[in-house]
Structure 1
Amino acid sequence: MVIFSAILAAVIVGGIAWFWLRSHVQTPAPASRTRDVAPVEIDPPVAVAPVAVGDLPRRFLLHALAVDDDTPLRVQRAVVEDVAATLTRADLSSRYTPRRPNLLPQLIHSVNDSAASSRSIARIIGSDPVLAATLLRIANSPLYRLQRQDVQSIERAVTLIGNDGIRQIISAALVQPVMQAASGEDAVFARQLWDYTLVLSLAAADHARSMEQEDGFAAQLAGLLLGLSGAMVMQATTDVLARSPLRTREPGTLLEALERCTVPTAVRIAGHWQLAAPIVQALRDVDADAPAGLAHSLQVGRWVASAAMLHAGRHISEEQALAALSSEVPAHVAVWLWKRVNRPTPADSR
């Protein structure tokens, strides 16, 4: 009996101990059947470096010359002086100041005449096969194309684009052969310069009409002359370098010649072509600190064209381009001009 009582007491004590341990000791959770996933680290957004609007034209020229922004530049001052002298000599040859296109006065008169029909304008253009082919090519470019189907006749181009558009295209078509005559090392630069000039002249014309209440065609023609004079400066520099085998082709020298001589050469060409005084004055004032009227539109055109070319070459983002342009012109104007010169082709919208 004593033994039974002892056993019973032991069982009771053991049960009490088991219940106490169960209530005070945590049972480990079963091992997870899923693999532990390391926390994902999210990088903070990368700040986009701002681009100064005044630096855009120089950066475009550097990239058109196939030079990186951080490449050291060596300038041959003597070469630049010779280029400037060549372009300002009294006996300046037609190699550096092209003859005024014969059809220019007649065409300007026709497109300014409200009574002139598209057929009569097309007849004038059609009298020059090279001009006609060039005009159709430009009319079908992304900057001017208004429909999916190609424009295949001059009269159709005149009808679709209207007088303002056809004046712009005519002027561009007249100067394109001169600008694209370069060969060899200058050929790539010439193609870049031509695309830049088309955008510059278009943006300048739109800005002049809408923001400055100025003649858009005058701004467009002045913009074309800036591009044309750039081609002339490159030709003169090539000729000066060819005179001495000791002179090498240095990107810094080309850049210096372009920045120093382009505007004065454009003024000289405008005078040689006997263009209207407002065009000549706008070219003279384009580098001023605060140009007005046509000169301001030319300045804006240069910024827009430079930004567009740098963006096309993936050197700056659209965000950087718009931020730079908006620092000098109202934001809505910057966006409007940007969309105007970066329109998708009809094939892209299909």
Structure 2
Amino acid sequence: MLNRLLRRLQGRPAPALTAAASDEDVAAAVEEALPVGAEAMPDADVAATLVSPQELADLFVRHLLGTAPDEPAVDGLADDILDRLDAQTQRLDVARLPRLPALVPQLLAVLRRDDVDANAIAALLARDPTLAGDVVRVANSAHYRRGAAVGNLPQAVNTIGSDGLRYVVLTTVMRPILQADPSHQAAHAGARLAAQSETRTWLCGTLARGVCDAGEVQLASVIASTGTAALMRMMPRPLMAQAAADINFGTRFLALASELSTRAAAHWRLDETLRNALQAMPRNGDDAGALARVLARADRLSMLHALHDTGDAPRLATSENLDERAQDRRLLASIPVTSEPVAA
């Protein structure tokens, strides 16, 4: 799907990139999070196509909206659509945006404690049958299951552990919010957004080890998708898909989404550090602290993961440094497969 556009990126001079994880602590966490015994980077990854942050945003938004690779850019359309989206976001009452159920903060608070047993956590999970079912399903996935099938909630809680539970809780409650539009084209876009959000949330939990609070950065990750989901419902999807053919559309679209997510987080009175991370995410987390850099790095990697998963795109990379590319590839390879693949 992305072949023609990506061919145009081949052979370009390598742009100077600002790595979101340039902080030494974040970089060390990446190395520690990589799977033990991971294989060396194959030659195909050495020759990966280098993309700038703007190009990555452009490619991902095209993928998200289902823009055809040969879609012609229409003069003025992207600016017109973006101006309309900007105007609508300014008028939007963020109180109308779907928010996470009240059960979620309770679970996150419990998971921060060391003195709560699996039965107490299972009792909380049991209040939401969908969530409870997802926890058992994930515990039985290939990533977690090590023996006999997991048949009850306390056993599933012990199998997954606190880190896995945080991920399952946040992504399960967010998935229906991101996939709320029932139209055929919108359903595909919603599924792609949910998949990227889940990948980013997993990566946040991994990258946060020893650097920042994993629960806080994973919460930021799921909230980061609320603005994108809201934007995608403001205009007809075919029109936005056509506008995304313009190379300047993706970056501004994601910046608008970030602004909207930040406003929502402020309305919900979430922590200032979390709000700053959401605001800094389109800028790769520059000058906004460790949590922001972890969120931005996870966002960039989750976009790469979405594009790699299309199966018809050449390998992409966002760093000229081969060691960093190897880290990225090994980290992406560690993402668990706990749900069905998203259709391209």
Normalization by structure 2: what TM-score? 0.72
Q: Kindly tell me: are residues 215 and 68 of structure 1, through their superposed partners in 2, closer, same or farther at Cα, counting changes over 3 Å?
A: same
Q: Which amino acid aligns with 1:187?
A: A
Q: Kindly tell me: are residues 100 and 195 of structure 1, through their superposed partners in 2, closer, same or farther at Cα, counting changes over 3 Å?
A: closer
Equivalent position of 1:330 in the other structure: 324
Equivalent position of 1:249 in the other structure: 239
Q: Kindly tell me: are residues 137 and 186 of structure 1, through their superposed partners in 2, closer, same or farther at Cα, counting changes over 3 Å?
A: farther
Q: Which amino acid aligns with 2:335?
A: V
- Residue 131 of structure 1 deviates from its aligned partner by 2.5
Q: Tell which has more relative contact order, 1 or 2 (C-alpha 8 A, sep 6+).
A: 2
- Residue 152 of structure 1 deviates from its aligned partner by 4.0
Q: Kindly tell me: are residues 91 and 196 of structure 1, through their superposed partners in 2, closer, same or farther at Cα, counting changes over 3 Å?
A: closer
- Greater shift after overlay, 196-205 or 70-79? 70-79
RMSD, matched Cα: 3.0
- Residue 329 of structure 1 deviates from its aligned partner by 7.5
Equivalent position of 1:191 in the other structure: 191
- Matches of 2:226 and 2:150 in 1, distance apart? 26
Equivalent position of 2:114 in the other structure: 114
Could you give the per-residue CA deviations for residues 8-58 of structure 1, whole angstroms, max 9, x where no partner exists?
Answer: xxxxxxxxxxxxxxxxxxxxxxxxxxxxxxxxxxxxx9x956231522332
- Residue 313 of structure 1 deviates from its aligned partner by 0.8
Q: Kindly tell me: are residues 57 and 133 of structure 1, through their superposed partners in 2, closer, same or farther at Cα, counting changes over 3 Å?
A: farther
Equivalent position of 2:167 in the other structure: 168
Equivalent residue runs for 1:176-255 within 5 Å: 176-184=175-183, 185-209=185-209, 213-238=211-236, 249-253=239-243
- Residue 205 of structure 1 deviates from its aligned partner by 2.3
Q: Which amino acid aligns with 1:302?
A: D
Equivalent position of 1:314 in the other structure: 311
Q: Which amino acid aligns with 1:251?
A: A
Equivalent position of 1:81 in the other structure: 83
Equivalent residue runs for 1:286-301 within 5 Å: 286-288=281-283, 290-291=286-287, 292-301=289-298
- Matches of 1:189 and 1:269 in 2, distance apart? 22
Q: Is the 8 A contact 2:278 2:292 kept in 1?
A: yes
Equivalent position of 1:268 in the other structure: 263
**Matched residue pairs, number?**
284
Could you give the per-residue CA deviations for residues 163-184 of structure 1, whole angstroms, max 9, x where no partner exists?
Answer: 1221121111221221121211
Unaligned runs of 5+ in 1: 1-44, 242-247, 346-350
Q: Which amino acid aligns with 1:234?
A: M
What's the secondary structure of 2:71's corresponding residue? coil
- Residue 73 of structure 1 deviates from its aligned partner by 2.7
- Residue 188 of structure 1 deviates from its aligned partner by 0.4
- Matches of 1:267 and 1:129 in 2, distance apart? 30
Equivalent position of 2:61 in the other structure: 61
Q: Is the 8 A contact 2:95 2:267 kept in 1?
A: no
- Matches of 1:201 and 1:328 in 2, distance apart? 25
What's the secondary structure of 1:306's corresponding residue? helix
Q: Kindly tell me: are residues 304 and 209 of structure 1, through their superposed partners in 2, closer, same or farther at Cα, counting changes over 3 Å?
A: same
Could you give the per-residue CA deviations for residues 299-349 of structure 1, whole angstroms, max 9, x where no partner exists?
Answer: 2112211111111111334xx34x43564983453243122126699xxxx
Q: Kindly tell me: are residues 195 and 99 of structure 1, through their superposed partners in 2, closer, same or farther at Cα, counting changes over 3 Å?
A: closer
Unaligned runs of 5+ in 2: 1-43, 340-344
Q: Is the 8 A contact 2:81 2:240 kept in 1?
A: no
Larger Cα Rg: Structure 1 or Structure 2? 1
Q: Does 1:340 align with 2:321?
A: no
Q: Kindly tell me: are residues 342 and 170 of structure 1, through their superposed partners in 2, closer, same or farther at Cα, counting changes over 3 Å?
A: closer
Identity over aligned pairs, percent: 22
Q: Kindly tell me: are residues 57 and 315 of structure 1, through their superposed partners in 2, closer, same or farther at Cα, counting changes over 3 Å?
A: farther
Q: Which amino acid aligns with 1:104?
A: V
